[in-house]
Structure 1
Amino acid sequence: MTKILVIDDEPDLIRFVRRALEAEGYQVLGSTDGLGGLRLALEQQPALIVLDLVMPGMHGEAVLSALLAQDSGFRVLILSATADVHLRIGCLEQGAVDFLAKPFAIRELIARVRGRLGEDASSRRKNQLRVGDLILDLEARQLLVDGRPTVLPKREFLLLRYLMRNPDAVCSRQELLSEVWGYDFDPSTNVVDVCVGRLRSKIRPELILTVRNVGYQLQSA
């Protein structure tokens, strides 16, 4: 999963940006001070860093300089309310890949993040399944429900993947046993029912409908 680091001294802003980016399938790290963010960047090597400038302690411009001195491959998007044009230009000339002024529209930030990572909507959709409010990241085995991420165990992931590839279709227990567990037929096992129960606890339970004496149906709406 693509890793993004947000360095900003406003915890509420970090939470807001994290929810939005995680809903798009990114893994988001956060730091509320420049020095801590610098250390985290060097340890985690994120694909992109969203960096504020005016912070107590280590200023964002100093963080940018230190990052690029360590590795010129770091991609840094400045997110700042500074009105100093010379500072903005200096950051870009120093090597920042973009500059977005606060206040900002979250959809614009997401678009800029995608652009700076060389992504587009179609390439991201190839690695995701989406049914209603459910988003399943096929690479990370991560489920997003209303922007909240959950990493699924193998069988739950495989079961949900199959149901999401067949939305609104009634999938029999025998079919699910074969596709998810590789069993031809075993009338005595209840592994499907147990696994469905676990999935229901992680999403809205009513989304997976029980079809009596047959199996289950994932509802798209």
Structure 2
Amino acid sequence: MRILVIEDDNILREATVEILTGEDYIVEQAATGDEGLYLAEQGIHDLIVLDIMLPGLSGLEIVKTLRNNGCAISILLLTAKDSVDDRVIGLESGADDYLVKPFAMRELLARIKALIRRKGNLIIEDQLNYGKITLNNKFKDGFVDAEPLGLTNKEYEILEFLMLNTEQIVTRDQLFDRIWGLDSETSISVVDIYIHHLRKKLVVYGLDTLIQTVRGVGFMLKES
């Protein structure tokens, strides 16, 4: 799971990143609203932890921009304002939840896990489920009828992203940026190579057609 933390308080941001990394989340961070929006618009994260008061664009402006562009990513707002009106404005702008500063890290983790569970009934604790496939975060592998697929790290990450976005188009750019990184010098054609490897492991169970190619765009995980 990949989380983006957008917070201008250096101490709080670094502490949040450290805690989330310790929980095995992959975390990226930004200290300004403009940088945060740029990273959020790449569409490679599963959740955003977003401060309202930021240099440049505010957290509310970021939420509105993402929602207006059709981005459905889960957003947890951090706010120093505790009035009902401020909380209502945050939620009405498109945020999924809010947390008032100062907060305990245990509560932050609980809110994040609740938002991840809320993403859909395919998520059960540390597992992702779609059709006959179960993806287990503890073992970093996929299973079909309890038989392991024997996924490599990158195959696991690709299948995880597809399962988190079932029946939605995931572009090659999104997969490349999420798995290999925005600054990677690897060719984007590596995405197709790994999709080919994944299909070969699924064909044994007759599930290779689950990963559908959307010509010229990317891929979609969808049962026929």
Q: What is the TM-score normalised by the length of structure 1?
A: 0.54
Match of 1:85 in 2: 84
Q: 1:52 to 1:70 in 2, by over 3 A?
A: same
Match of 2:107 in 1: 108
Match of 1:209 in 2: none
How far apart are 1:110 and its partner, in Å? 0.7
> Which of 127, 136, 148 is residue 137 of structure 2 equivalent to?
127
How far apart are 1:45 and its partner, in Å? 2.7
SS in 1 for 2:5: strand
Q: CA separation in 2, counterparts of 1:110 and 1:102?
A: 14
Match of 2:42 in 1: 43
Aligned residues with identical type, % of pairs: 34
How far apart are 1:56 and its partner, in Å? 2.1
Larger Rg: 1
- Is contact 1:7-1:51 (8 Å) kept? yes
How far apart are 1:58 and its partner, in Å? 1.2
- Is contact 1:65-1:94 (8 Å) kept? yes
Q: 1:24 to 1:94 in 2, by over 3 A?
A: same
How far apart are 1:19 and its partner, in Å? 1.2
Match of 2:5 in 1: 6
Runs ≥4 in structure 1, deviation > 6 angstroms?
none
Aligned length, in residue pairs: 134
Q: 1:102 to 1:138 in 2, by over 3 A?
A: farther
Q: What amino acid is the match of 2:81?
A: T
What is the correspondence of 1:202-221 to structure 2 with a 5 Å cutoff?
Answer: none
- Is contact 1:92-1:98 (8 Å) kept? yes
How far apart are 1:87 and its partner, in Å? 2.2
Match of 2:213 in 1: none
Q: CA separation in 1, counterparts of 2:74 and 2:67?
A: 9
SS in 1 for 2:42: helix
Match of 2:15 in 1: 16
Deviations 1:123-155 (A, max 9, x none): 4994226xxxxxxx568859xxxxxxxxxxxxx
Are residues 1:97 and 2:96 paired? yes
- Is contact 1:6-1:31 (8 Å) kept? yes
How far apart are 1:82 and its partner, in Å? 1.6
Q: CA separation in 1, counterparts of 2:44 and 2:126?
A: 25
SS in 2 for 1:55: coil
Match of 1:64 in 2: 63
Gaps of 5+ in 2: 118-122, 129-134, 143-151, 155-224
- Is contact 1:53-1:82 (8 Å) kept? no
Q: What amino acid is the match of 2:66?
A: L
Gaps of 5+ in 1: 130-136, 143-221
SS in 1 for 2:41: helix
- Is contact 1:9-1:32 (8 Å) kept? yes
What is the correspondence of 1:94-173 to structure 2 with a 5 Å cutoff?
Answer: 94-118=93-117, 121=125, 123=127, 126-128=136-138, 141=153
- Is contact 1:54-1:82 (8 Å) kept? no
Q: 1:107 to 1:68 in 2, by over 3 A?
A: same
